[in-house]
Chain A
Amino acid sequence: MRRPSKTTRRTTATATAALALVLGATACGGTTGPASGGELSGQTVTVAGVWTGSEQENFKKVLDAFTEKTGARTVFVPSGDNVSTFVGSKIEGGNAPDVVMVPQVGVLQQFAKEGWLQPLSDQAATTAGSTLAPVWKNYGTVDGTYYGLYFKAAHKSTVWYAPEAFTQAGVSEPKSYADMLKAGRTLADSGRPAFAIAGEDGWTLTDWFENIYLSQAGPEKYDQLAQHTLKWTDDSVVKALTTLGELFKDKQLVAGGAEAALGTDFPSSVAQVFGPEPKAGMVYEGDFVGGVATGQFGKKLGEDAKFFPFPAVDGGKAPVVSGGDAAVVLKDGKNSKAGMKLLEFLADAEAAEVWAGAGGFLSPNNEVDLASYSDDTTRSTADSLITAGNSIRFDMSDQAPAAFGGTKGAGEWKLLQDFLRDPSDPQGTAAKLEAEAVKAYGN
């Protein structure tokens, strides 16, 4: 029984790899010519990552800076969305990249457990130790060994709003969760419902819950819940759900009511605030909302699209839910030594500043000069990320098994959607969440 199933998996992996190879060969070819001189001249470092489009362009600028410094040639290989399949098949085919930019903490752990990764060199670890908050090291460490250097961060605790709606209603950026709801009700009085909620996408709802939980219950409990050593039936979960339900059940706060919210996907929720026919004043999601508002609706960050940090709930600390891309070095790479040099370079503020200037980037590195960010909004997001320091936590649903935290129409996504439809029974929802979590975590 066992062997055939593995074979099938391998076959699919190979097929995907072949496809990725073809795609890679046609789409990328992002090589940088060797500079004369430099300690690594004549060597080639291959980097794989999920980035496409402008993100890829900007990352290549960072690689160019590395080339300039060391003389090593760099090649960026797009991995497609499924990094773990890509890397697995590359290793099997004897053509492993030297460095991989890993987008999820779960994938990093998987790589480490497969024994694919090389621990960070002393120099990289030392630089990272002095420039990154310890929490980033924890997320890059598996079973006591430090493998993953976090280079790019995401900030998922930003509430975006339309300034003209706030002016019209005469409210200002709230400092606490209670204030936020109060401001929301005033917004509704002014004729513009408070929040656009993307209920059709389950992940936005898990993000709502995570922010409230992190602030209300604190980071320790958050970690326990993410590991599922704490049960979802715990009082703290019920309390957070009750807090969330207070918002969900209020027709003035949820634009169009819960039913309409359940028919709204993430891009539409941004459109409801920043689109041509605004229907709501605020939308909560990560820093990428700014990208949609500017890219799709021509808003200018800091002028007609602003954000405030997700406020503290019940006197707790303001939450900072985050995520990021970690750089790892593969054992099987042809040039893993040069790859480690690249990591040492990435650990340096200088590398991050290259991308910071190009935009669409947050660095977890606290030595990065805030002045190097290209606009004020990104700068204040970065500032909030650095200030949060060690209280940052990664997205809980990303850390959970996919069956629980990452599947459309199932697990946490589905249960929170049901909760949005009918928020009257937090206790019951908590019990259902626990039942699903037990199934997915298997503990």
Chain B
Amino acid sequence: MADALTARAATNPRRLAQRKKRRLAVVFVLPALLLLGALVVYPVLFSLGRSFFDAGGDRFVGAGNYAAIIHDPATLKAIRNSTIWVVVAPLLLTGLGLMLAVLTEKVRWATAFKLVLFLPMAVSFLAAGIIFRLAYEQDPDRGVLNAAVVGVHDAFHDAAAYPTARAREDHGLTGGAGGPYSTEETVRPGRSVSLGFVGVAPDAMPAGAKAAAAAAPDTDGIGGVVYLDFAPGGAGTPGKVDPGEKGLPGMVVEAARDGRVAATATTADDGSFHITGLADGEYTVRLPAANFAAPYQGVNWLSPALVTPAIIAAYLWVWTGFAMVLIGAGLAAIPRDALEAARMDGATEGQIFRKITVPLLAPVLTVVFVTLVINVMKVFDLVYIIAPGPVQEEANVLATRMWLVSFGGGNDQGLGSALSVVLLLLVVPAMLFNIQRFRRSGA
């Protein structure tokens, strides 16, 4: 058998061997080619073709879908957000990863530390999305982040006694919701005023509140009452102290003259107050805003302005471990003698980091960065899950927009295909760059 082959190949042995080799190569590559063709090339070409047709797929619209991308504000927002993602997330991640990798080299429990940082990688994006959706809830009772923010804030600022109270309109007090309120007319010492408020729920009244009663004024002071001008059942006349209406205890009342506070008093359980020690003259009775400050609500993490940064933060949480471990591996491969030599020559740790570690790590950093860029381009689940309906448009990136346009109600798969082509074109440069680098390092 072997003899026969050599005999026949004798005419041109080299070419025959080459042909045989090539045939073998084709046999080996064919399954991969078929798979790639069916799963990558065909869908890409199909999407490209589909992007030239309208929503139903029946009418050729040429570049119409691409024009729609440029003219659709929602899609432009998605493109803007994708840009923010691609610029911010990989940079932050590589930076964070580098910092953590360098620092963990120096701590004793490095492995444990790395393990903890790497754990989020084991959580699926879906689960991470749900976790952060809850953490970002506005209501401090539900969102842990706002609970922390509000907790810290309230440790330094006392909550106001009557956040919901507002002055009964057109009954002698001016001022917008949230205070401060002041009397429309000036008051002389020896007179008394009654100041009516509404909007305090019965169960929000201080426990000790008693029926409202005005205090009689002293000759050198102003007396009066601050009361809840709303009797249960809505009985009573607005602007008058009626039976069943309670005083508002603990309210700070000021007498001001020429814009300066002359004296202050605090209301008693029945809402009465005496401001004493006033010289004769015209005074304005004021209730400072501190009485009415609304309780601190924390940060609205999922507001239109903050939603994208908030989702990027969630993404960082998941991926930091990955960047750190890759960079850490690169770090371990750096020749120790270079570092030692620098130290011997008197370089500071900062100099070593900047002049030796980072340049030596550059190849690893590039790989991490480029991988992350590609990864960030296709981010979908986190955005889709974390952003609530009202701000979904503000949070959309290209990938979510593509899906929503194609399947999320609009069912315009033409426009969706056009978006996917745009996304592909954006990923291609990063791909090419990576391939080139692999080639170079392989050579």
B411, A403: Cβ atoms under 8 Å?
Answer: yes
The distance in angstroms between the C-alpha atoms of A263 and B389, with both chains bound, is 9
B265 at the interface (CB under 8 A from A): no
A192 at the interface (CB under 8 A from B): yes
Of A189, A201, A409, A421, which one neighbours B392 at CB under 8 angstroms?
Answer: A409
The distance in angstroms between the C-alpha atoms of A26 and B137, with both chains bound, is 38
B83 at the interface (CB under 8 A from A): no
A259 at the interface (CB under 8 A from B): yes
A200 at the interface (CB under 8 A from B): yes
B232, A1: Cβ atoms under 8 Å?
Answer: no
A78 at the interface (CB under 8 A from B): no
Of A189, A191, A199, A251, which one neighbours B204 at CB under 8 angstroms?
Answer: A191
Closest residue of chain A to B168, judged by CB?
A: A189
A407 at the interface (CB under 8 A from B): yes
With contacts A189-B198, A190-B201, A410-B393 taken as known, whether A259 is within 8 angstroms of B300 at the C-beta atoms is yes
Interfacial chain B residues near A170, Cβ < 8 Å: 232-235
B202, A191: Cβ atoms under 8 Å?
Answer: yes
Of A4, A252, A421, which one neighbours B46 at CB under 8 angstroms?
Answer: A4
Segment at the interface with A among B50-58, B100-108, B212-220, B312-320: B50-58
Interfacial chain B residues near A251, Cβ < 8 Å: 177
The distance in angstroms between the C-alpha atoms of A420 and B232, with both chains bound, is 31
The distance in angstroms between the C-alpha atoms of A1 and B51, with both chains bound, is 10
Of B58, B204, B235, B390, which one neighbours A414 at CB under 8 angstroms?
Answer: B390
The distance in angstroms between the C-alpha atoms of A188 and B408, with both chains bound, is 39
A263, B388: Cβ atoms under 8 Å?
Answer: yes
Tell me the minimal C-beta distance from A258 to chain B in angstroms.
10
Of A167, A171, A201, A414, which one neighbours B393 at CB under 8 angstroms?
Answer: A414
A429 at the interface (CB under 8 A from B): no
Tell me the minimal C-beta distance from A393 to chain B in angstroms.
23
CB interface residues, A 190-237, toward B, < 8 Å: 190-192, 199-202
B interface majority secondary structure: loop
B381 at the interface (CB under 8 A from A): no
A313 at the interface (CB under 8 A from B): no
Of B49, B199, B388, B391, which one neighbours A188 at CB under 8 angstroms?
Answer: B199
CB interface residues, B 378-397, toward A, < 8 Å: 387-393, 396
Interfacial chain B residues near A417, Cβ < 8 Å: 389-390
A262 at the interface (CB under 8 A from B): yes
B409, A168: Cβ atoms under 8 Å?
Answer: no
Q: How many residues of B contact A (CB 8 A)?
A: 42
Of A1, A167, A191, A263, which one neighbours B201 at CB under 8 angstroms?
Answer: A191
Interfacial chain A residues near B408, Cβ < 8 Å: 407-408, 410
A2, B58: Cβ atoms under 8 Å?
Answer: yes
Number of A-B contacts (CB under 8 A): 106
Tell me the minimal C-beta distance from B243 to chain A in angstroms.
15
Tell me the minimal C-beta distance from A418 to chain B in angstroms.
8
B94 at the interface (CB under 8 A from A): no
Encoded as 1 (CB less than 8 Å from any B CB) or 0, chain A from 334 to 346 comes to: 0000000000000
B199, A191: Cβ atoms under 8 Å?
Answer: yes
Encoded as 1 (CB less than 8 Å from any B CB) or 0, chain A from 400 to 443 comes to: 00110011111101100110010000000000000000001000
B389, A200: Cβ atoms under 8 Å?
Answer: yes
B57, A1: Cβ atoms under 8 Å?
Answer: yes
A133 at the interface (CB under 8 A from B): no
Interfacial chain B residues near A191, Cβ < 8 Å: 164, 198-202, 204, 230
Of A168, A200, A409, A421, which one neighbours B232 at CB under 8 angstroms?
Answer: A168
Interfacial chain B residues near A406, Cβ < 8 Å: 409
Interfacial chain A residues near B201, Cβ < 8 Å: 190-192
B267 at the interface (CB under 8 A from A): no
Interfacial chain A residues near B409, Cβ < 8 Å: 402-403, 406-408, 410-411
B361 at the interface (CB under 8 A from A): no
With contacts A168-B202, A403-B409, A403-B411 taken as known, whether A1 is within 8 angstroms of B53 at the C-beta atoms is yes
A5, B138: Cβ atoms under 8 Å?
Answer: no
With contacts A5-B57, A417-B389 taken as known, whether A168 is within 8 angstroms of B233 at the C-beta atoms is yes
Interfacial chain B residues near A329, Cβ < 8 Å: none
Interfacial chain A residues near B392, Cβ < 8 Å: 408-410, 414
Interfacial chain B residues near A407, Cβ < 8 Å: 404, 408-410
CB interface residues, B 228-261, toward A, < 8 Å: 230, 232-235
B50, A5: Cβ atoms under 8 Å?
Answer: yes
B234, A409: Cβ atoms under 8 Å?
Answer: no
A169 at the interface (CB under 8 A from B): yes
What are the 10 tightest A-B residue pairs by CB atom distance, in nearest-first order? A170-B234, A407-B409, A409-B392, A191-B201, A189-B198, A403-B410, A417-B390, A170-B233, A5-B57, A402-B409
Besides the contacts A2-B58, A191-B202, A410-B392, what 8 more A-B pairs have beta carbons closer than 8 Å? A6-B57, A168-B232, A170-B233, A199-B390, A251-B177, A263-B302, A409-B392, A414-B392
Q: Which residues of A contact B (CB under 8 A)?
A: 1-2, 4-6, 167-171, 186, 188-192, 199-202, 251-252, 259-260, 262-263, 402-403, 406-411, 413-414, 417-418, 421, 440
